[in-house]
Amino acid sequence: MSHPIIETLLQHKGEYVSGERLSQELGVSRTAIWKQIKKLEAAGYRFEASRKLGYRLVGEPPAKLQLGEIVNQLKIYPFVKAVKLFDSVQSTQNIAQQLAEDDAPEGTIILAEEQTNGRGRRGRIFLSPAGSSVSMSIVLRPDLPLQFAPQLTLLAAVALCRGLRELTGLDIGIKWPNDLQVDGKKISGILMESTAENERIRYVIAGIGIGVNLLEEDYPAEMRNIATSLRIAKGEEIDRLAVIVSFIKHFTELYPLYLREGFGPIISLWESMAVMLHKKVKLSTSAGIVEGVPIGLCESGALLVKKADGSTESVFSAESLLSAQETPDIRS
Ligand code: BTN
C-alpha cells in the first residue's frame, strides 16, 4: 500500500516529522493526519509519536499477502479453482457475486488486503483493516434446495474453528450460529449469501472475515469488550496465509463429506465446538424473546432451545441477549 504519510516518513527515515508539517505537505488537517496514522497502525505499520516532535516510522512495513505464495499453498486442494487477490475493495462478497454471475466455477476464491465496506450479518459493517485481517469470499455451487443453505454456514464455522484451533492452539469456540469466539470475544464472522432459482441454490457466496493481527487499539473503544484478534489472544503475530490455508484445508475435507453424507456428521462436530450449549440463554428473535437452554442443532440448522416449561423451540435467527460466558453449564 502506497500511502502519502508513509512516503513522507520514508523520505525522512529514522527522523520525526511533525504533525503540522505532514498536514501542510498533504494538504489536510492535523486531525485527519492522526486518523490516518490510526488506520495505518491497524494495517500493521508502527509509529513512535511525540507531542513535540511528531511521528516517526519504526519497525518493518507490514507483510502483504502474495498471490504467488497463496496459489502455491492452495494448489494441492482440487476444490480451489482460482484465486484472486485485491488490494482494497468495498466487499469481497460483491466481487465474488459478480464473478459467480459471470459463471465463475465453484472454488473461486476472492481475497482482499482491505475492505472499505465489509458486510456483516443483519446489515452490519465488518471491520477489515488493511494488512491485519483476512477477508475472503468463496463461490460455492452445491446442487441443493435453498432451505439447506443455513447448513453451509454451520459447516463453514466448523471448518474455520477446526483450522484455527489447529493453527493457534487457542480454545476457540462457535457461538451460534457462526461467530467464532475466544476468551468470550468475537474473532471471526461468516456471511453466506445465496442465490436460488426454483427453490434450488444457483450459487452461494461464503464470506469469511477473521481478525488476525489487529491490536487492542485498532478496535474502536466500543468494540474492545466484544471483539478480539488471534494475535491478541495468542500474544504473538499470526501468519495470515497460514490462516487462509488452515480454513481451506478443513473446508475441502468437510464440504465433500457433507455433500456425500448429509448434515449429520457436521451437526456432531458443530455441537462439540459450540460455546452456548447447555447454558442459559436469552435470545431475541423476530417472534420475541426466547429464554432457555440450547440442547443442540436440528437438521435445518436451527438451534433447539429447551424452555423452562419443558417444551423445545427451534430458533432460526436471533441475537443473544445473555452470552454463554455469563452463565454456567447447567449440566455440571
Ligand atoms: C458477521 O460477523 O456478521 C459476518 C461477517 C462476514 C465478513 C466477511 S469478510 C469477507 C466477506 N466480505 C464481506 O463484505 N463480508 C464477508
52-66, 74-88, 239-253: which has the minimum mean pLDDT?
Answer: 52-66
Averaged over 279-304, what is the pLDDT?
Answer: 90
- What pLDDT does residue 314 have? 92
- What pLDDT does residue 325 have? 45
Residue corresponding to grid cell 426454483: 198
Sort residue 198 into left (φ over 0), alpha (ψ -120 to 50) or beta. left
Residue to probe by mutation, ligand 1, list 119, 174, 187, 228, most atoms within 8 Å of CB: 119
C-beta 190 within 6 A of ligand 1: yes
Residue 64 has pLDDT above 70, yes or no: yes
Question: Which residue minimizes the CA distance to atom 11 of ligand 1?
Answer: 207
C-beta 96 within 6 A of ligand 1: no
Nearest CA to 43 out of 127, 106, 103 is that of: 127
How far, in Å, is the centroid of ligand 1 from the Cα of 206? 9
Please give the Cα distance from 180 to 164 (Å, whole number).
10
Alpha helices in 108-198 (DSSP H): 149-168
Residue to probe by mutation, ligand 1, list 185, 208, 210, most atoms within 8 Å of CB: 208
pTM, two decimals, is: 0.84
Percent of the chain with pLDDT over 90: 76
Residue 2 has pLDDT above 90, yes or no: no
| pLDDT tier for residue 207 given thresholds of 50, 70 and 90 | very high
Domains and CATH numbers, the chain: 4-58 (1.10.10.10), 67-273 (3.30.930.10), 281-321 (2.30.30.100)
| pLDDT tier for residue 321 given thresholds of 50, 70 and 90 | low
Residue 103 has pLDDT above 80, yes or no: yes
Please enumerate in sequence order all residues whose Cβ is within 8 A of that of 86, keeping only pairs 6 or more positions apart, or say none: 92, 95, 110, 111, 112, 113
- What pLDDT does residue 41 have? 82
- What pLDDT does residue 328 have? 52
Residue 209 has pLDDT above 50, yes or no: yes
- What pLDDT does residue 332 have? 42
Residue 143 has pLDDT above 90, yes or no: yes
Q: What is the pLDDT of residues 82-93, one digit of tens each?
A: 999 999 999 999
